[in-house]
Chains A and B, each alone.
Chain A
Amino acid sequence: MFETNFVIVTGFLGTGKTTFIIELAKRLTEEKDKKINILVNDFGQIAIDGETLNDFGMEAKRITKGCVCCEVKQDLVAQIRDLKKNFEPDIIILETSGVASLLPIYRTVEQYVDEIETLTLIDVSRYDKLMEKFRTVENQLTFADRILINKIDLADDEEMKKIEEKVSKFLNKENPDGQLHKISARKKIGLENVVSGIVQ
């Protein structure tokens, strides 16, 4: 009996989820020899992220017409069952929309997959403002297994230190088991540990 792990890649709007998945999927396939499938819950009427992943040679299945955490839960279940039946993937990666809540997704998928791992991306240069203005960001950080501080190439040492302290403080209080990683998906920095962590 094969096992399918479910990796949720989440993070607020514009934190670099699609760019990260392009690199993640490539490494899982080429370096770790994993059979993967990608599901993309594109926001709105146009499938920008799904089409972009397809441009990079990845077969991303799109879930549109709603959010997988509420309106189209059953579409998500149907896609997972279909992928498991037809492709027997080692890992299914779900790219959520930037405003999805995590708990309802866990409840929806837990009986259909063997393990769930959540990676939440945050944007180093917008962390303060996003935390202040948008409630969704807290939810995404609270329920993550791994928190990826992305775009570290855009921050100087001092800025990086400050953000790391703030995120650590939040995690100590709200999500003490959450593991912190510093990455730049675009510049391919710090991804090895994340990839290895997923396949362990």
Chain B
Amino acid sequence: MNEKNLDHSHGHLEQDNLDSFTLIIEKKLDKKQEQENIKNCISKVIESLGKKIIEVGPGIIGHIKGRIEMKDKIRFSFVDEKQGVEFEGNINSEEKIDELEIKILAVVPVGGKELKKIKKKTKEEVDKCFN
């Protein structure tokens, strides 16, 4: 299967001047962390990613969404600053975990080198949550 098929709906995205990136980050932590702390840190990363897209794009985001899969699993979504990062699902805040997976999909009106830079920066910011 070619890349175009994997990154589906390419034609639709082009029609609306949108582009996308996906990040899947698996982590094994040296020291256990509370689920709530991880949720809060990722929330900040997503908010900052959204603000960056607004700053460098035409002032609007498509959609940034994803999942944090810890012992509990939650979905997050960000479309604008007013609504902020919204979560779907519940977590046991104090539960400590040392293994997780974060999936991020950003469909945004920014492309090319700028989008690659933003993707790289996002990964670095996620990594910082666990240092």
Contacts and interface: CB of A to CB of B under 8 A. Distances in A.
A121 to B, nearest CB: 12
A44 B22 contact: yes
13 contacts: A13-B107, A14-B65, A51-B73, A65-B5, A66-B5, A67-B9, A70-B9, A99-B12, A99-B18, A100-B9, A133-B109, A136-B12, A136-B15
Contacts of B9: 43, 66-67, 70-71, 97, 99-100
A109 B83 CA distance: 35
A71 B20 contact: no
A55 B89 contact: yes
Interface in B54-113: 58-63, 65-67, 73, 75, 77-80, 82-83, 86, 88-89, 103, 105, 107, 109
A98 B62 contact: yes
Interface string A131-171: 00111100000000000000100100000000000000000
A66 B103 CA distance: 19
A5 interface: no
A101 B103 CA distance: 26
A48 interface: yes
A160 B65 CA distance: 26
B16 to A, nearest CB: 4
Contacts of B8: 43-44, 64-67, 71, 97
B46 to A, nearest CB: 12
B79 A123 contact: yes
B67 to A, nearest CB: 6
Given A66-B8, A99-B18, 11 more contacts: A13-B79, A43-B107, A46-B22, A46-B24, A65-B1, A67-B9, A70-B9, A70-B11, A99-B16, A99-B107, A101-B12
The binding surface of chain A is classed by DSSP as loop
Given A43-B107, A45-B7, A66-B5, A14 B12 contact: no
The binding surface of chain B is classed by DSSP as mixed
Interface residues of B, number: 40
A129 interface: yes
A98 B77 CA distance: 13
Contacts of B75: 18, 48-49, 51-52, 55
A46 B103 contact: yes
Contacts of B60: 126, 129-130, 133
A134 B67 contact: no
A8 B60 CA distance: 26
Interface in A89-135: 97-101, 123, 125-126, 129-130, 133-135
Given A43-B20, A43-B107, A48 B79 contact: no
A19 interface: yes
Contact of B80 (A49, A51, A125): A125
B107 A98 contact: yes
B13 interface: yes
B103 A48 contact: yes
B20 to A, nearest CB: 6
